[in-house]
């Protein structure tokens, strides 16, 4: 009995070692018989045939003869040998199984505590009542309130003072619904524009709106002054109106669609996004993305809902297989439309395989609590818009010169290399550790990522890589 | 190669260590999502 036990032990150990060391260097996947291999550390992407895909179940830890032996019933020995030669060549060129040497960088990232982006909560109030709103229908669990021009201008001063040598500064007008306080938005834009040159800064403004209050005059102002606009709509009428309704319970679709169309039409070549949320109620969300594309929108983002798992519309682990199929279905349609010159951009399928961000950016992630902060109507500062209202995360005020350094440091330290679950994940250079707020909401710890979110992110990245492989 | 088509070669991420980190790029979740974090689709301002 001793020998089989030792043999079993050997199998378990070698399987463990393969999982830990070999599979943490590459990621292979198959979508619709398109076989892709990503070399995680170099970023090289390979499209392979099925023989190569199968050989990689054993390569490089099994000798050539053993691999041939294992696969000889499916492929002939000559083909397997050819594959192994090609794989050897890629390994020699450091395009496959390349080593991770990024660990030494932990001390080099996020060293500069400069702020470059603020999310201004212009209105903690909203004129509609979306069931899934993380801002508690606009008030962020506090009193309904509007930001004053004084607070807004002070926030601009605070950003300039804390931005060091950064030239490009971002300001997002957010809510609640910022159009409820549009005169203050205009005041803040005008103030920032007046002082940007003397401070050697370039402000980039974005506004996020539910579109219900858009008028011709407001649209013109936004087109003249905002670098980007995010327009909220969830998809088709049924989907949108189920979650996004007025205070009287009426759907918003018929009101917002013509306004969003007009806004986008007037936008010309300036940036915009139509942005929706999907929940358990429209888990077949690919139809909603396609519906938005069919309306003529070219820049689309539809995101999974982030909410308390107890909510009836929350997404859960059991929904993942269906959601994965939806992403794949969307990816195929997306590709087909791109190839027929009727394509659109889906935010999470966009990926730059050739340039993209530097390693520091990839390791440090979203920058919440350090380079990015959210500011309430009263001038209180939080690490990002999703932490607003949770007093444990109050970092100070625009009326004070200092930020809470303990919170700032906790977020600074929360880079992808410090998160156990991320350190061996193949997607770590693309998601950069994920959303801190999601991690905290689900696990009460910004260092423990939200599993369901991670799985969806990985599926989106696989689709994005597959799409790039097919388009190039 | 007969069995493997390399779509993109090395991004040379390691080479970005020296010149990278200027921070001029857009904040990751500011552009469209606001509820997730994807960095791989961001553009570098220095290219």
Considering only CB atoms, B30 lies closest to which of A348, A357, A372, namely A372
Distance from CA of B1 to the nearest CA of A (A): 7
- A138, A123 Cβ separation under 8 angstroms: yes
- SS3 state of residue A427: coil
Give me the interface pTM, i.e. the ipTM.
0.87
Q: Which of A371, A379, A423, A372 is nearest to A401 (CA)?
A: A379
pLDDT digits (tens, 9 = 90+) for A196-212: 999 999 999 999 999 99
Asked if the Cβ–Cβ distance from A361 to B8 is below 8 Å, we say no
CA A32/CA A262 separation, integer angstroms: 38
Q: Kindly report which listed range (A66-80, A256-270, A389-403, A412-426) carries the lowest average pLDDT score.
A: A412-426
- Asked if pLDDT for residue A310 goes beyond 70, the answer is yes
Asked if pLDDT for residue A119 goes beyond 90, the answer is yes
The proportion of chain A whose per-residue pLDDT surpasses 70, expressed as a percent, equals: 92
Q: How far apart are CA A110 and CA B37, in angstroms?
A: 17
| Between B37 and A289, the higher pLDDT residue | A289
Q: Which residues of B touch A357 (CB under 8 A)?
A: 20, 25, 39-40, 42-44
End-to-end CA distance of chain A: 56
SS3 percent helix, strand, coil of chain B, rounded to 5, is 15, 10, 75
Q: Looking at residues A274-284, what average pLDDT do you find?
A: 96
Report residue B4 as tokens. 């493997």
Q: Do A469 and B7 touch (CB under 8 A)?
A: yes
Strand B4-8 versus strand A45-48 pairing type: antiparallel
- Supply the pLDDT for residue A100: 82
Please report the pLDDT score of residue A1 as a whole number: 44
A133 φψ region: left (φ > 0), alpha (ψ -120 to 50), beta (else): beta
Task: Confirm or reject contact between A328 and chain B (CB < 8 A).
Answer: no
- Per-residue pLDDT, A353: 81
Q: Which residues pair with A30 in a beta bridge?
A: A35
Q: Do A358 and B32 touch (CB under 8 A)?
A: no
Contact yes or no for A114/B21 (Cβ under 8 A): no
pLDDT single digits (tens) A342-386: 999 999 999 888 767 888 888 888 889 999 999 999 999 999 999
The pLDDT-based confidence of A413 (bands split at 50, 70, 90) is confident
Report the percentage of chain A scoring pLDDT > 90: 74
Give chain B positions within 8 Å (CB) of A108.
Answer: 17, 21
Residues A133-171: tens digit of each pLDDT: 877 766 777 788 999 999 999 999 999 999 999 999 999
First and final C-alpha spacing in chain B: 31
Kindly state whether B18 is in contact with chain A, defined as any CB-CB distance less than 8 angstroms. Answer: no
| Chain B residue numbers touching A468 (CB-CB < 8 A) | 7-8
What is the average pLDDT across A97-124? 80
Residue A106: its pLDDT value, please? 61
Mean pLDDT across A173-191? 97
Residues 20-39 of B with CB under 8 A from A: 20-21, 23-39
What pLDDT does A25 receive? Answer: 92
Alpha-helical runs (H) found in chain B: 16-19
pLDDT-derived band at B28 (thresholds 50, 70, 90) equals low
Q: Does A91 touch chain B (CB under 8 A)?
A: no
For residue B20, the chain A residues in CB contact (below 8 A) are 357-361
Higher pLDDT, B26 or A323: A323
Instruction: Using the predicted structure, report yes or no on whether residue A194 has a pLDDT greater than 80.
Output: yes
Put simply, the answer to whether A353 touches B35 (Cβ < 8 Å) is no
CB contact (8 A) between residue A359 and residue B19: no
Classify burial at A191, counting beta carbons within 10 Å of its beta carbon; exposed 0-12, middle 13-18, buried 19 or more. middle
Quote the crossing angle between the two packed helices A451-471 and A320-339, to the nearest 10°: 20
Contact B11 A42 (CB under 8 A): yes
CB atoms within 10 A of CB A51: 19
Q: Residue A4 above 60 pLDDT?
A: no
pLDDT at B26: 78
Residue A294 predicted with pLDDT over 50:
yes
The string of pLDDT tens digits covering residues A238-248 is: 999 999 999 89
Closest to A206 (Cβ–Cβ): which among B24, B30, B43?
B30
Residue A9 has pLDDT above 70, yes or no: no
pLDDT at A358: 83
Chain A CB contacts of B2 below 8 Å: 82, 86
CB neighbours of residue A28 within 10 Å: 16
Of A283-292, A377-386, A408-417, the poorest mean pLDDT is in A408-417
Greatest CA separation found in chain A?
A: 84
Q: Quote the pTM value.
A: 0.91
**A128, A285, A297, B39 from A362: Cα distances, Å:** 37, 29, 29, 6
Q: Which residue of B has its CA nearest to A100?
A: B14
The answer to whether A229 and A206 have CB atoms below 8 angstroms apart is yes
The torsion angles phi and psi of A453, rounded to 5 degrees, stand at -65, -40
Cα torsion at A192, A193, A198, A200 (round to 10°)? 90
Residues of B in contact with A43 (CB under 8 A): 8, 10-11, 13
Minimal CA separation from B43 to chain A, in Å: 5
Q: Return the structure tokens found at A349.
A: 């399928």
Average pLDDT, chain A: 91
CB-based contact (8 Å) between A462 and chain B?
no
Among A105-109, A140-144, A280-284, the range scoring the smallest mean pLDDT is: A105-109
Pairwise CB contact (< 8 Å): B8 & A44: yes
pLDDT in tens, B15-24: 777 777 777 7
Residue with tokens 């605070």: A158
Task: Note the helical H segments in A301-404.
Answer: 320-339, 359-364
User: CB–CB of A361 and B47 under 8 A?
Assistant: no
Instruction: Give the DSSP H/E element, type plus range, for residue A274.
Output: strand A271-278
A202 touching B, CB under 8 A?
no
């Amino acid at each position: 009995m001793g020998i089989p036990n030792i043999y079993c032990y050997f199998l378990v150990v070698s399987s463990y070692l393969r999982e830990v060391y070999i599979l943490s260097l590459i990621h292979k996947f198959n979508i619709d018989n398109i076989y892709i291999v990503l070399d995680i550390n170099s970023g090289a992407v390979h499209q392979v045939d099925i023989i190569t895909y199968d050989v990689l179940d054993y390569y490089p830890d099994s000798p050539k003869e053993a691999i041939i032996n294992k696969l000889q019933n499916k492929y002939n020995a000559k083909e397997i040998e050819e594959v192994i030669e090609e794989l050897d060549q890629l390994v020699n060129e450091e395009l496959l199984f390349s080593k991770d040497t990024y660990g030494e960088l932990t001390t080099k990232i996020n060293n500069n505590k400069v702020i470059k982006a603020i999310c201004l909560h212009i209105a903690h109030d909203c004129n509609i009542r979306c069931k899934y709103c993380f801002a508690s229908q606009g008030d962020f669990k506090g009193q309904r309130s509007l930001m004053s021009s004084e607070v807004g201008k002070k926030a601009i001063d605070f950003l300039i003072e804390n931005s060091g040598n950064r030239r490009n500064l971002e300001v997002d007008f957010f809510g609640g619904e910022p159009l409820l306080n549009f005169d203050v938005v205009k005041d803040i834009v005008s103030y920032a524009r007046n002082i940007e040159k003397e401070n050697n800064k370039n402000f980039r403004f974005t506004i996020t709106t539910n579109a219900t209050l858009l008028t011709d005059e407001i649209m013109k102002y936004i087109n003249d002054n905002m670098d980007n606009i995010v327009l909220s709509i969830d998809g088709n009428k049924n989907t949108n109106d189920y979650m996004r309704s007025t205070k009287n319970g009426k759907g918003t679709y018929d009101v917002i669609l013509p306004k969003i169309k007009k806004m986008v039409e007037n936008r010309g070549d300036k940036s915009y996004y139509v942005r929706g949320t999907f929940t358990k109620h429209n888990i077949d969300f690919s139809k909603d993305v396609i519906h938005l594309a069919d309306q003529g929108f070219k820049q689309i983002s539809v995101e999974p809902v982030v909410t308390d798992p107890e909510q009836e519309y929350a997404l859960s682990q059991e929904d993942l297989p269906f959601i994965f199929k939806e992403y794949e279905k969307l990816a195929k349609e997306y590709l087909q439309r791109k190839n027929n010159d009727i394509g659109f951009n889906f935010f999470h399928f966009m990926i730059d395989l050739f340039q993209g961000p530097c390693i520091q950016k990839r390791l440090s992630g979203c920058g919440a609590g350090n380079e990015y902060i959210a500011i309430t109507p009263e001038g209180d500062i939080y690490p990002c818009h999703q932490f607003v209202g949770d007093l444990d995360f109050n970092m100070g005020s625009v009326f004070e010169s200092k930020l809470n350094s303990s919170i700032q440091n906790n977020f600074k330290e929360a880079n992808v290399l410090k998160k156990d679950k991320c350190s061996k994940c193949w997607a770590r250079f693309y998601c950069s550790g994920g959303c801190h707020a999601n991690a905290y909401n689900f696990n009460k710890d910004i260092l423990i990522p939200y599993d369901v979110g991670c799985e969806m992110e990985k599926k989106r990245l696989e689709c994005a890589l597959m799409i790039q492989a097919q388009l190039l | 190669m007969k069995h493997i088509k390399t779509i993109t070669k090395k991004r040379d991420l390691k080479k970005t260590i020296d010149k990278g980190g200027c921070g001029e790029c857009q904040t990751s979740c500011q552009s469209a999502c606001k509820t997730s974090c994807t960095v791989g689709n961001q553009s570098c301002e220095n290219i």
